[in-house]
């Protein structure tokens, strides 16, 4: 028991000492305007350095990833058909497909699938 306590204390102390040493050695200098500004050949930036991002594209990409994962979940259904009870397999498969169809219908009705608006 005593040996376990010593090991736990050593395990806790080593990362804490490393973090303390890191904080002491990496003291940053005083932040000034020149170091915080973006470098653009010596000129001040005229516009935002970030490019505009289409939220609609992000939503379409998320929907694609979700349905891609669902397809990957459906692929093992065919080989398991021979190994399981046919009624149980059919109910499980139909329930899964119906949930997918309900999700697709909901996204369609919400207008998430309309790209050109």
Q: What is the pLDDT of residues 6-42, one digit of tens each?
A: 999 999 999 999 999 888 887 665 565 666 666 656 6
Share above pLDDT 90 across residues of the chain, in percent, rounded to a whole number: 21
What mean pLDDT comes out for the span 55-59? 78
Largest Cα separation within the chain, whole Å, is: 72
Which pTM was predicted? 0.48
Cβ atoms of residues 116 and 100 within 8 Å = no
pLDDT value of position 34: 62
To 10 degrees, the CA torsion angle through 40, 44, 46, 51? 40
């Amino acid at each position: 028991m005593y040996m376990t306590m010593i090991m736990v204390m050593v395990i806790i102390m080593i990362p804490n000492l490393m973090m303390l040493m890191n904080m002491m050695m990496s003291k940053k200098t005083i932040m000034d305007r020149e170091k915080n500004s973006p470098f653009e050949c010596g000129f001040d930036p005229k516009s935002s350095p970030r490019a505009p991002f289409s939220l609609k594209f992000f939503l379409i990409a998320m929907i694609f990833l979700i349905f891609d994962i669902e397809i990957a979940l459906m692929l093992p259904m065919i080989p398991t058909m021979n190994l399981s009870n046919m009624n149980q397999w059919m109910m499980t498969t139909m329930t899964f497909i119906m949930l997918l169809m309900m999700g697709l219908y909901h996204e369609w009705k919400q207008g998430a699938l309309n790209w050109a608006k």
